[in-house]
Structure 1
Amino acid sequence: MTPAVVIVGRPNVGKSTLFNRMVGGRVAITLKDPGVTRDRLIKPCHWRDREFLVIDTGGYVPDSDAEIQQEITRQVEIALQEAAVVIMVVDGTTGLVPLDIEIASRLRARGKKFLLAVNKCDIKRRFDETEFYRLGAEKLFIIAAEHGTGVDELLDEIVSQLPPAKIFPRPGLALAILGRPNVGKSTLLNQLLGRERAIVTTIPGTTRDTIEEIFEFEGETYRIIDTAGIRRRPRIEEPVEYYSVSRAIDTIENCDIALVVIDATEGPTAQDKRIINLVTDRNRGLVIVANKTDLIPPELRKKVTDYITTKLQFVNYAPLVYTCALRGKGVWDAVQQAKAVYHSGAMRISSRFLRATILAQLQEQPPAPKCRVISLSQTDIRPPWFRLRVSQPEEVGSRYQRFVINLIRNQFRFTGYPIRLKVTD
């Protein structure tokens, strides 16, 4: 079950503003519980590499009609029953009021620990921060939900308090071999599985034509996922193309890193590029294997490698390994590159370091004269996701997004993974 984070507090303290800031507005479809008179909003939130639900509850209103108040209270109680983390929001511009103290008392009486978000601190007001510690919160965060100030730190603390994610164990890093027919996929597979001590066991696959083999290399276990070649599509109606693409998609979605094999004697074809796009569209790590180098005359190798590099500029962040699978040359270099890509995709860049490197450049070169660049933060890994906050998101076009991604790429590389960017206000 996905853990839930519940936001509680009296009316008009900014609970819904914080809710919208956390979920990013258009993250997912809003869910509503059936049969509830006053609905509570539920949306998923992704932060770092964790997913959790954020629940926005109605404000506690003691002076409302009793029936309405009972319904609000009932919804809060339902939400609190399964809450992994509780956030109580108060208004920093008014200070503590009796209703805040009453809500905190109710939480403590239920045995619920909670984080305290002191909101609206973008409005200048002198207040004694220690007064809010009277509520008995585990930690206190000074935020301005309207502008996002302090929300990143709050989300970091939320993730640290979530229960451990349930991970279904899979043996080793999963590699998929993809490519057109006759580019040498089977030969590459046989080389990987034909080494001494190579095959450990055979695992039946989850899809129709896919099997998984396990091999060891340099003391580590790998899974290799094999599938049929993807043929060129002369007519979309042909079943063979439908199933080959379907198998490829299944394989990609079940792998960590895709090894896309091309024929070095032909160079990257249109179909090779389609296969590469299938991988990048699904946010998997990518290594390109140019096979059959033994068939290239020595005097043409420089020209061929230059041609292949030029044709693959659209994924110039992916390692390119030249192999002769028939003779075993370069095969294990591809595995080493896959391992390097996987580790590269797990890299996290702190918001402080981003401010010191990328953000200053973006603020000097905003997307539009009146569009202010506010912050840049990394929100996820594999692939690396970044959130760019600007004052006018509609001013950030695709060209500027590419500019931001290129700055990140040049600074931090993230070898083998596409960099994703989300623009918010």
Structure 2
Amino acid sequence: MSRPIVAIVGRPNVGKSTLFNALAGQQISIVKDTPGVTRDRIYADVTWLDMQFTLIDTGGIEPESSDLILSSMRQQAQMAIDTADVIMFITDVRQGLVDADFKVADMLRRSHKPVILVVNKVDNFEKLMPDVYEFYNLGIGDPVPVSAASRLGLGDMLDEVAKYFSKDNTQEEEDDRPKIAVVGKPNVGKSSLVNKLVGEDRVIVSNIAGTTRDAIDTPVKYHGKEYVFIDTAGLRRKSKIKEDLERYSIIRTVAAVERADVVVLLIDATEGVTEQDSKIAGIAHERGKGMIIAVNKWDAIPKNDKTIYKFTDEIREKLAFMPYAELLFISALTGQRLNRLYETIDAVIENHAMRVGTGVLNEILSEAVAMKQPPSDKGKRLRLYYITQVSVKPPTFVIFINSKELTHFSYTRYIENKIREAFGFKGTPLRFIYRERKEKE
């Protein structure tokens, strides 16, 4: 199930980043060890009680003049409205209500998205409550007092946010058509690809407020089977600042990837793999999605018999953290190999949801251990007792062992490769969880 997306919006210096960091904590996901994934702290996965959501910090640039602040805030608000399920509007009790707050509140109210009004820097609830009540004037509901710096009131605030979760997710559950997010840098041909698959030029969604993100879902029928393509090209933002645009496209990507089963990362053959490409690939990898790398504009490349190998090596090297990804060379312009794209999507969806019997897994495990000894430290050796698959999308395995300290990612990768040799699992990441069991058991 896709996680709800919660976006933080607010003027400069109201404490957005402090709040973001307080909620994101240091448990920024496990993929730290993954070489090649750079992390921009634009988004983080947050767990509150039994709920998980993705938190997005929309603000980046802090302009000087008040007109610029307003236009930058409008952009942030629009970004949040386009992508988030719930919006957290952060204000500052010390600065009080400001003109820009009213203007942004108007936009948010018209979006009909759930908005939580957060009043930050309330270090003393008794003394500052009269100042908090002033924020009722914004007309977007009850202000929730917090202090991000002292971590006060965060629980109550998250309770308010969480009230909006379960309602929205029920509708998405019934739709079991495969969802494919088409992601990549701007101008790499995402819309052309979706248009080619649909077979007609579909309307680009206009960027008026209230355009829902669902409007860029395109259902496509192929050989009697229906697929839904989620296109992140949708809204073209006019932004003078490159960072703003990049931030915007990353946030759009997180939102699309969150809802997809399979991610198709388009890479421009004329440019090769860029840093932005590996950032986007990292988002899909962390979220455990099925993965296809499609090299677009392949028709525009002068080729000899070695071109495809050279390109393949470059991609595998630069995106070394996802060796499982399927690789295709296509042209959205000419339609070259697009039929292969559907075959690959079908295969990846099947692998992403594949279950393997416990008996067979344990045969593979004991064979693997017999062929290559597990690592040891100070005379103590890692022992792997038992393996079982606990979930799918992505396939996730629990291995019972004697000591977590002795595990090493290279040995995990060795086990993973053995499982892949037996079952393929092409196009999908695999997750491994270690559980300790004492020798006596």
Residue 178 to residue 259, structure 1, CA distance change in 2 (3 Å) = same
Once residues 185 and 235 of structure 2 are traced to their aligned partners in structure 1, the CA distance between those partners, rounded to angstroms, is: 5
Residue 424 to residue 246, structure 1, CA distance change in 2 (3 Å) = same
Q: 1:171: how far off?
A: 5.5
| Equivalent residue number for residue 177 of structure 1 | 182
1:255 to 229, 251, 260: 260
Q: 1:268: how far off?
A: 1.3
Q: Note the alpha carbon deviations across 1:90-114, whole angstroms, 9 max, x for none.
A: xxxxxxxxxxxxxxxxxxxxxxxxx
Q: 1:362: how far off?
A: 2.4
Q: 1:315: how far off?
A: 2.0
1:281 and 2:289 equivalent? no
Q: Which runs of 5+ in 2 are unaligned?
A: 1-45, 52-169, 437-441
Residue 242 to residue 311, structure 1, CA distance change in 2 (3 Å) = closer
1:407 to 418, 422, 425: 418
Residue-pair matches, total? 259
SS at match of 1:177: strand
1:212 to 191, 211, 217: 217
1:298 to 299, 303, 309: 303
Once residues 182 and 267 of structure 2 are traced to their aligned partners in structure 1, the CA distance between those partners, rounded to angstroms, is: 11
What TM-score, normalized by structure 1, do the two folds share? Answer: 0.54
| Larger Rg, first or second structure (1 or 2) | 1
1:375 to 371, 382, 386: 386
1:354 and 2:394 equivalent? no
1:366 and 2:371 equivalent? no
Once residues 234 and 174 of structure 2 are traced to their aligned partners in structure 1, the CA distance between those partners, rounded to angstroms, is: 29
What is the letter of the counterpart of residue 386 of structure 2? S
Residue 306 to residue 391, structure 1, CA distance change in 2 (3 Å) = closer
Q: 1:389: how far off?
A: 0.7
Residue 174 to residue 29, structure 1, CA distance change in 2 (3 Å) = closer
Once residues 385 and 47 of structure 2 are traced to their aligned partners in structure 1, the CA distance between those partners, rounded to angstroms, is: 27
SS at match of 2:187: coil
Q: Note the alpha carbon deviations across 1:114-148, whole angstroms, 9 max, x for none.
A: xxxxxxxxxxxxxxxxxxxxxxxxxxxxxxxxxxx
Once residues 326 and 258 of structure 2 are traced to their aligned partners in structure 1, the CA distance between those partners, rounded to angstroms, is: 20
Once residues 320 and 230 of structure 1 are traced to their aligned partners in structure 2, the CA distance between those partners, rounded to angstroms, is: 27
1:224 and 2:229 equivalent? yes
CA contact (8 A) 1:171 1:221 kept: no
Deviates more, 1:210-219 or 1:398-407: 398-407
Residue 394 to residue 210, structure 1, CA distance change in 2 (3 Å) = farther
Q: 1:210: how far off?
A: 5.7
Q: 1:346: how far off?
A: 1.6
Runs ≥4 residues deviating over 4 A: 28-31, 204-210
Q: 1:244: how far off?
A: 1.7
Once residues 180 and 48 of structure 2 are traced to their aligned partners in structure 1, the CA distance between those partners, rounded to angstroms, is: 35
CA contact (8 A) 1:210 1:251 kept: no
Residue 308 to residue 399, structure 1, CA distance change in 2 (3 Å) = closer
Once residues 357 and 284 of structure 2 are traced to their aligned partners in structure 1, the CA distance between those partners, rounded to angstroms, is: 27
| Equivalent residue number for residue 328 of structure 1 | 335
| Equivalent residue number for residue 423 of structure 1 | 434
Q: Note the alpha carbon deviations across 1:239-287, whole angstroms, 9 max, x for none.
A: 3333221111010011111111001122211111111111111111111
SS at match of 1:168: helix
Once residues 240 and 382 of structure 1 are traced to their aligned partners in structure 2, the CA distance between those partners, rounded to angstroms, is: 31
| Equivalent residue number for residue 69 of structure 2 | none
Q: 1:323: how far off?
A: 0.7
Q: 1:316: how far off?
A: 2.3
What TM-score, normalized by structure 2, do the two folds share? Answer: 0.53
1:345 to 332, 352, 357: 352
| Equivalent residue number for residue 316 of structure 1 | 323
Which fold has the larger relative contact order, with Cα–Cα distance below 8 Å and residues 6 or more apart in sequence?
A: 2
Residue 358 to residue 174, structure 1, CA distance change in 2 (3 Å) = same
Q: 1:224: how far off?
A: 0.8
SS at match of 1:289: strand
Q: 1:305: how far off?
A: 4.3
Once residues 371 and 208 of structure 1 are traced to their aligned partners in structure 2, the CA distance between those partners, rounded to angstroms, is: 48
SS at match of 1:176: strand
SS at match of 2:267: strand
Residue 293 to residue 30, structure 1, CA distance change in 2 (3 Å) = closer
Residue 406 to residue 330, structure 1, CA distance change in 2 (3 Å) = same
What is the letter of the counterpart of residue 227 of structure 1? T
Residue 400 to residue 206, structure 1, CA distance change in 2 (3 Å) = farther
Taking every aligned residue pair, what percent have the same amino acid on both sides? 35
Once residues 297 and 251 of structure 1 are traced to their aligned partners in structure 2, the CA distance between those partners, rounded to angstroms, is: 33
Q: Note the alpha carbon deviations across 1:8-32, whole angstroms, 9 max, x for none.
A: xxxxxxxxxxxxxxxxxxxx9896x
**Pairwise mapping of residues 24-423 of structure 1 onto structure 2 (< 5 A)?**
168-170=173-175, 172-194=177-199, 207-208=212-213, 211-228=216-233, 238-299=243-304, 301-302=307-308, 303-362=310-369, 365-368=373-376, 369-423=380-434
Q: 1:306: how far off?
A: 4.3
Q: 1:289: how far off?
A: 0.5
What is the letter of the counterpart of residue 345 of structure 2? A
Once residues 30 and 245 of structure 1 are traced to their aligned partners in structure 2, the CA distance between those partners, rounded to angstroms, is: 24
Q: Note the alpha carbon deviations across 1:364-383, whole angstroms, 9 max, x for none.
A: 62232443221111111110
